């Protein structure tokens, strides 16, 4: 049997295979509260070695898309408990991705209709998902943000700490800190979105300060061995950019190596797009990134993501390039993706019209192999 389908360890997490269901925003949790539909969706996909949930805001301010589940309401924690119970009963492991979107939001989603927040008051050339006056979901340009005051930052770090504790209380096996794809932590990291002149901007050491504080707060609360983190060194998602990402993310992984994390989740290239995409004057050196992490003492499972099929995944695992492989959209249309990949069975086609918002259609009604062949 391929190593891809063998058990693996990621910190405190014992995984039955090396295929991970990547986070996938689906906009099916009205009021930021997980519901019975969400329970069915995640339970159906429990054969993954690990499920990473859709991104879940650590606070109301951290919300940037309509109908995504949160980690800041008591009723949301109760809803998540039903999800984790169902996944565990089905033999799965599940962590929640903790999120603060920063500037990738809209005034209609913010407390009191206020402006989204960001390291600097620079509007992202991006869109988010909201409901119009008729209750219809649609994509809309992100709103102009305001720059965070330095005095506000400890409160946001505290939001991450509280969300991590809430996640464990909800039965999650761990958490993933979302530090990728142009959201708040990534906005602090990159010089395209961080123009601050205080000790959170300018130098790489300053731009990594917020990430360091969040990481320390979360790991001290729930343990580093139940904490993963997601980074995307060169993605242009949500208007993310940096003039020289190699030294920046070398420093990022050196910081990560200080903690005995469960895993490091790396998006190669442009999220959901060109794996060879790069920023800066020279192509990004992915092997050098992992070497920098290991040379700094990092021992977490190395998880790679972006456009992996079975052949590419097996090659990465067998060569030692990766310990785990995260796969996104194929898990949407194929709740039994692990079995399909193991047996080289055909995959269900994806209905892109039902990706965001809606009900069971395109969410929990994709057939498993037995039903598909019946």
Catalytic residues: 183
List Cβ<8 Å contacts ≥24 apart for 26-29.
Answer: 26/54, 26/332, 26/355, 26/356, 26/363, 27/65, 27/66, 27/67, 27/68, 27/129, 27/137, 27/356, 27/357, 28/67, 28/357, 28/358, 28/359, 28/363, 29/67, 29/68, 29/69, 29/79
Q: How far apart, in whole angstroms, are the C-alpha atoms of residue 114 and residue 109?
A: 9
Alpha-carbon distances of 28 from 33, 51, 117, 137, 328, rounded to whole Å = 9, 17, 25, 11, 17
Instruction: Tell me the longest C-alpha to C-alpha distance in the chain.
Output: 63
Strands 94-99 and 50-57: parallel
Which H or E element spans position 2?
Answer: none
Q: How far apart, in whole angstroms, are the C-alpha atoms of residue 275 and residue 272?
A: 8
Token pair in block for residue 246: 């190699």
Q: How far apart, in whole angstroms, are the C-alpha atoms of residue 300 and residue 262?
A: 5
* Spacing of C-alpha 53 from chain mean position: 8
């Amino acid at each position: 049997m391929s190593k891809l389908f063998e058990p693996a360890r990621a910190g405190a997490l014992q995984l039955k295979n090396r295929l991970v269901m990547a986070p996938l925003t689906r906009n099916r949790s009205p009021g930021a509260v997980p519901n019975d539909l969400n329970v069915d969706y995640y339970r159906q996909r429990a054969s993954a070695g690990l499920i990473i949930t859709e991104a879940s805001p650590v606070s109301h301010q951290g919300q940037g898309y309509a109908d995504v589940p949160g980690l800041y309401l008591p009723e949301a924690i109760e809803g998540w408990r039903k999800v984790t119970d169902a996944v565990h009963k089905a033999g799965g492991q599940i962590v929640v991705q903790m999120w603060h979107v920063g500037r990738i939001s809209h005034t209609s989603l913010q407390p009191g209709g206020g402006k989204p927040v960001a390291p600097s008051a620079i509007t992202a050339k991006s869109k988010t998902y909201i409901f119009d006056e008729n209750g219809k979901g649609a994509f809309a340009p992100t709103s102009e943000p305001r720059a965070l005051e330095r005095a506000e930052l400890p409160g946001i770090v505290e939001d991450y700490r509280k969300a991590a504790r809430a996640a464990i209380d909800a039965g999650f096996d761990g958490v993933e800190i979302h530090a990728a794809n142009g959201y708040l932590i990534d906005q602090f990291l990159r010089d395209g979105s961080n123009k601050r002149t205080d000790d959170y901007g300018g130098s790489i050491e300053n731009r990594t300060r917020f990430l360091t504080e969040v990481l320390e707060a979360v790991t001290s609360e729930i343990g580093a061995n139940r904490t993963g983190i997601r980074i995307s060194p060169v993605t242009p998602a949500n208007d993310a950019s940096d003039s020289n990402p190699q030294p920046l993310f070398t420093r990022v992984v050196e910081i990560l190596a200080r903690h005995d994390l469960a895993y490091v989740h790396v998006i190669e290239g442009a999220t959901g797009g060109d794996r060879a995409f790069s920023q800066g004057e020279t192509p990004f050196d992915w092997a050098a990134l992992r070497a920098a992490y290991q040379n700094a003492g990092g021992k977490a499972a190395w998880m790679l993501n972006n456009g992996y099929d079975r052949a590419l995944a097996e090659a990465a695992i067998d060569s030692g390039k990766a310990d785990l492989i995260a796969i996104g959209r194929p898990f949407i249309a194929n709740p039994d993706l692990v079995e399909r990949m193991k047996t080289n069975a055909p995959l269900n086609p994806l209905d892109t019209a039902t990706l965001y918002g809606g009900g069971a259609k395109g969410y929990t009604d994709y057939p498993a192999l037995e039903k598909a062949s019946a």
